A and B are shown apart, each in its own frame.
Chain A
Amino acid sequence: MSERRDGSILAADIGNISTRVILIDLVDGRYRLLARGETRSTGGFPSGDVNLGIQRACEQITEATGRKLVAPDGRILTPERADRSGVDQFVVTTSTGQTLRTVIIGLVPELSIASAIRATAGTYVQVVEQISLADARSEEDELNAIIHSRPDLIFIVGGVEAGADSPVMRLARLARTACNLLKGGRVPLVLYAGNSDLVDDIHDIFQGVTTVLVAENVRPTLDEEHLENAARQLARAFDERQDQRGAGFKQVGDMSRVGILPTAQSYNLIAGYLGQALEEDVLLVDIGSAVSTLSASVGGHVATVIRPDIGLGHSASLLHELTGDAAVARWLPFVPAHNQIRHYALNKALRPSTTPESIKGLFLEHGLLRAGIRALMDTARPLWAGRADMPADEPLPAFKRIIAAGSALTRTGNPGFNALLLLDSIQPTGVTELEADSFGILAVMGALAQVNPTAAVQLLDGMNLDRLGTAFSLSGKPTPERPAMRVKIRLESGGEAISHEVPGGHLWIYPLATGQRATVEVSVRGRGLQIGNKGRVKVQVEGGSAGLIFDARGRALPVAAEVRHRASQLPLWISEVTGDTPILIDPLWLVEGGEEGHVDTTPPPPSRRRKKAEAAQAVADKAAKAAKPARRGRRGKAEAAETPAEIEMPTDDELSLDDLRG
């Protein structure tokens, strides 16, 4: 796409919980982040219009900068006016909404279909059906499979350039028949990315049936793979489907030159860019409410995993189903009650934007988070293995940079705590730069790169991420409480070198602030210990909001198996990275499970048999009862209105419904 040298750019990302908008403009010839706004997303109840959230976030930017961004009709003002109101470009991404249910039709599973699946990385695609020449089903069964999978998109691939055409056309005609039979309902879009000789024929057979998008052949030869163009068309299909969802997506998409693009595409793009630019292995992890994404550049190859069943809000219950109790319980410093973890996950899914308020709630939330990231990593590792010749059971690649996104990982209110969650979940080894995308900048990068690549690159290079600091992580099994790491820090600003020994099983933070630089030398103390496959490292590093983090806990992380030990271990680790007093765990929590909530004082309900007997008795007594006044009226009502003892009802003068009525 040709680049336009626009000035101001407004970029919005609509998430399931939050809508974030950033204003970017040229300052001294470079693109800079000028202001940001964030508000609750408004696609759901009660307003059902995502545009409202964008307008509210823009109001915050207007308050901060004085620049008017929204016209009276609710549209973003474009282009920028002489009075500096409006912007030259508006781009928008989203991670909301259903995944694009996709049927992939191709010739050979190992060739064109495999390429098609790889092209879907970066878009919220759920492959619901695959049909190929290797399919043993009858044509009738294949047709029914397409129709009953309720696709949003039929993605047709196959045929090398100038190759045979009749097998592709036979499968395309099958897709056409399915589309015809779905008329009157939701007819899927078609994306064709096969033999380019057939493009006209494909257009002809779907004429008047459905919209056809065309991309470059994903497998022009047996050895070549071209995914980028198909990925863009998949994003366009996602945009088209979003338009049909209502909730104001069409209006918002119409304001952007490139429509609404999937947020995940940004992570894929950035992992690739950073991997190439830095020539290092890079990992990006975004734990969202409904969908989570993990993109990694390993050995120069990018792999992205998108999981709509991993999330800490809308998908919390699915996440718990996926990981089970044990994966969460191993992070709890208390004995959970029967179903306590499940109840937590279910309640979080019912109220996805809420935040833990109690100590137990915090550990449950972060237990789910750590289990979720672990599940994401487990999905991603085989992809890295395939690309970088790394067996799946080997230690992680030595990621030089890890970037966290999503409020669960970036909004604890303490950068040290944010860093700890990353270290616990990903368990990197060696020397790793940790960053957090607190402003939601990464989410919009994919869209920004399409309209203005220069702005995207300059924004990424411009320190717009929250630099948490540098982590030095030990591999091996250090002896608890015995020296494991010897640290020497020489500040660039001068002064005496700082020396410190970190005992095994502990973390230590040196508060090197953002912008400060130092030379750090770390040597291991103890048999079998390493740091980045060495016994000693000496590196120049820069500080961050958390500082320099020395993690002498070892790998794999020795989380205590016994709850009694976790009750001291987990609060201690938090305290060591935050500087706060350790959270106190009630000793009673270690012996019996107790669920949070109001204590239910209701006596155990009577058995069904007894109740049936009582009901039968009631029928027998019906005549006698009929003679008496029914137990309704004032007495019955007074009984029913009785409030549980632990709740004091507000008075009518205070918190009553009359108050609500105004």
Chain B
Amino acid sequence: MYYPEQRYLMDSTTIRREQSLPQDAIGEVEVIEGSSVNLRDIVARGVIPSRYVFVEAARQLRLKPGESLSDFLQVAVGQSVSAEVLLAEKRGKQVRAPFDGILAAVEDGHLIMQVEPEQIVVEAGVDGTVVQLVSGRGAIIETYGGLAQGVWGNGRRTIGALKSEPADGLEMIEGGDLDIGTRGSIVVTKRPLYETGIDHAEYIGLGGIIAPAMDADLIPRALRSKLAIMLTEGFGPLTMSPLMWKLLDAANGRNALLEARQPDRWSAARPEVILNPVRSSNRAVRANPNTTLNVGSVVRLTRPPHAGEVARVTDLPKMPVLLENGLRVPCAQVEFPNGESRPVPLANIEVYGR
């Protein structure tokens, strides 16, 4: 029994996603389990710790041994204060806030003030239902719709209508093609992305780009861009997997959330596009994480020379197979749409979620 790698590509499925504060944030959850949320609803709110400053209050108030600084406080710990607000007082001696901030703690004769920290809010990101809370961090939200997962993103998120590129490429989209309603669209291109493509997309006001691949030199440019950019295959001269293109092209005009997450080796979250469900669509199919590889399975291949290609498994040999490069590894025999058949390492096979 072999459980292959999965990368979801489904036109209608249930989707569960965790929306949580970043690891270094301190905060609280603002939704309750079972509640419905819209994509802009706030799930959690928090702060990123900023600099702490010691205020030598005990010395300034000339506290005597046995006297507690807490007894002379004029504001509560945790309270936001403006500069010059009275923090503590003892018989005419005063300690005032040195800046706008929060009285964070009283420790060993110090008042510890925190510079006004950066506020962070986490939005639901999808229309759905809160199915589980993540204590102090966020929530898991369930929704349904189409789902296509990529491999790399530039860390941005956008919501917009999907738009397939013209036959002559992303660069040929003209500003006039996008009316007010479609400005902010997410363009899908089946060709590798170039810098001119990003420049042009920014210029004409697109919201995002889904492309198969790009050159690694473009990473800094993509990270600087305000567009959400997702790659479906990787880096180098790779074209889009035909089934990926087929799904996204068929969704032309549908609203979508492009969550172009940057890969994080410590996280299971992936860059992905969630397509709004079509009213007439059939009931959503739940993805099966226990999918096994079988004869007849339709699979996507992930490594050159067949990266991105789609094939059908015709045999699962019990013994490792010798490849042209000299490695002898467990393989599946697959057949391509053109009838060609060859062994492919099991490790280089992905299935789509069911």
> Would you give the 0/1 interface string for A628-641, flagging 1 where the beta carbon is closer than 8 Å to chain B?
00110000110111
A343 touches B236 (CB 8 A): yes
A290 touches B348 (CB 8 A): no
Cα A637 to Cα B324 with chains together (Å) = 40
A181 interface hit (Cβ, 8 Å): yes
Residues of B within 8 A of A396 (CB): none
A104-125, CB < 8 A from B = none
B309 touches A44 (CB 8 A): no
Q: Which residue of A48, A606, A622, A639 is within 8 Å of B166 (Cβ)?
A: A639
* With contact pairs A615-B204, A640-B164, A660-B9 given, residues A605 and B268 touching in the complex (Cβ less than 8 Å): no
B186 nearest CB across to chain A (Å):
14
A45 touches B347 (CB 8 A): no
Binds B, one of A349-357, A442-450, A482-490, A519-527: A349-357
B172 nearest CB across to chain A (Å):
9
Residues of A within 8 A of B216 (CB): 339, 342-343, 346
A597 touches B266 (CB 8 A): no
A618 interface hit (Cβ, 8 Å): yes
Binds B, one of A157-165, A276-284, A646-654: A646-654
A147 interface hit (Cβ, 8 Å): yes
A607-625, CB < 8 A from B = 607-608, 611-612, 614-615, 618-619, 621-622, 625
Closest B residue, CB atoms, query A40: B3
A393 interface hit (Cβ, 8 Å): no
B62 nearest CB across to chain A (Å):
21
> Would you give the 0/1 interface string for B27-69, flagging 1 where the beta carbon is closer than 8 Å to chain A?
1100000000000000000000101111000000000000000
Binds A, one of B87-95, B121-129, B187-195, B222-230: B187-195
Q: Which residue of B151, B282, B308 is within 8 Å of A350 (Cβ)?
A: B151
A181 touches B105 (CB 8 A): yes
B289 interface hit (Cβ, 8 Å): yes
A597 touches B303 (CB 8 A): no
Cα A619 to Cα B306 with chains together (Å) = 42
Bin chain A's interface residue count. 35 or more
A147 touches B49 (CB 8 A): yes
B169 touches A602 (CB 8 A): yes
A224 interface hit (Cβ, 8 Å): no
A618 touches B23 (CB 8 A): no
Cα A180 to Cα B23 with chains together (Å) = 17
Q: Which residue of B4, B54, B107, B234 is within 8 Å of A346 (Cβ)?
A: B234
Residues of A within 8 A of B309 (CB): 647
B250 interface hit (Cβ, 8 Å): yes
A453 interface hit (Cβ, 8 Å): no
Closest B residue, CB atoms, query A654: B337
Pairs A-B, 6 closest by C-beta atoms? A413-B328, A639-B167, A640-B164, A596-B304, A185-B26, A362-B325
Residue contacts A-B, CB under 8 angstroms, 17 given:
A56-B1, A143-B112, A144-B52, A339-B215, A346-B152, A351-B5, A354-B302, A354-B348, A357-B348, A358-B303, A596-B236, A596-B305, A615-B200, A649-B242, A650-B243, A655-B310, A657-B250
| Residue positions of B touching A, CB distance < 8 A | 1, 3-6, 8-12, 23-28, 49, 51-54, 104-105, 107-108, 112, 114, 136, 151-152, 164-167, 169, 171, 174-177, 179, 190-192, 194, 196-197, 199-200, 203-204, 213, 215-217, 234-239, 242-243, 245-247, 249-250, 252, 263, 265-266, 268-270, 282, 285, 287, 289-290, 298, 302-312, 320, 322-329, 336-338, 344-345, 347-348, 352-354
> 12 new A-B pairs (CB below 8 Å) besides A45-B6, A650-B242?
A148-B49, A184-B28, A290-B265, A356-B325, A413-B322, A580-B326, A598-B239, A615-B200, A618-B174, A625-B176, A639-B166, A650-B243
